[in-house]
Amino acid sequence: MESLKEILSRRRALVITPFAFAGIYALTSRKGDPPPPAVDVTIIPFDDHGNPQPATKTKRIVHTDAEWKKLLTPGQFYVTRRESTDTPYTGTMYKSHNRGLFRCICCSNAVFSSDAKFDSATGWPSFFAPIAKENIATRRDTSMMMDRIEVHCTLCLAHLGHVFDDGPEPTGLRYCINESSLRFVAL
C-alpha cells in the first residue's frame, strides 16, 4: 500500500507538470516583439583604425525577426535579439589580448575597445568602459530573479550583456559582454 507521502508527491507532480509544459511552450513559441520605431539616435562613429569621428545623428536600425535571422547565425540571433547569454569560457575573445575594436555584430557600431578590456576571470569578454557612452544604452533587467543593468547597442538595440559595479579602476565597472554580440576588428 502506498504511503500518504508518495500519493501527495504524485499529485503534486500531476498538478505542476501542465504548468511546466505551458511555460516551456510559451518560451519556445515566442514570436518576438514588433520592431521598435526607427527613431533618431546619436552615436560616435569610429573608423577601423580606432579613430573617433564627429557625433552623428542617424536613424536607429530596425529589422523584423525574419530579417535579423537572415543576417545572424542562430546563436547570434538568440543572444542579441532574445537577450540570451553565451555559456562562459566557450569563446575566444575573453582570453584575447589583441589590440582592436569590438563592434556590434548586428550593425557594426563600435561599442568597446581593447584599451578598456581586462581579464575578469568570468569567461566573458569584460571591459571597464564603452568606447563611447553614446554608443551603448542601459536599462534595468529583473529577469532570472536578479536585479541587473542590461547593456544594449544604441544603434540597433542588440543585447550585448550586463554591467556590474565590481570592475577595476578607473570606473569600478565591469561590462560583461557576450562574445556572440561582438565582431572584433584588429588594429
List active site positions. Answer: 176
* Chain center to CA of 2: 50
49-57 LR contacts (CB < 8 Å, sep 24+): 49/187, 50/100, 50/101, 50/113, 50/187, 52/132, 55/134
Name the one residue in this structure whose C-alpha cell is 548586428.
106
Name the one residue in this structure whose C-alpha cell is 518576438.
32
> What's the rounded Cα separation, in Å, for the pair 132 and 129?
8
Report the DSSP beta bridge partners of residue 110. 103
Q: If 0-12 CB within 10 Å is exposed, 13-18 middle and 19+ buried, where does residue 58 land?
A: middle
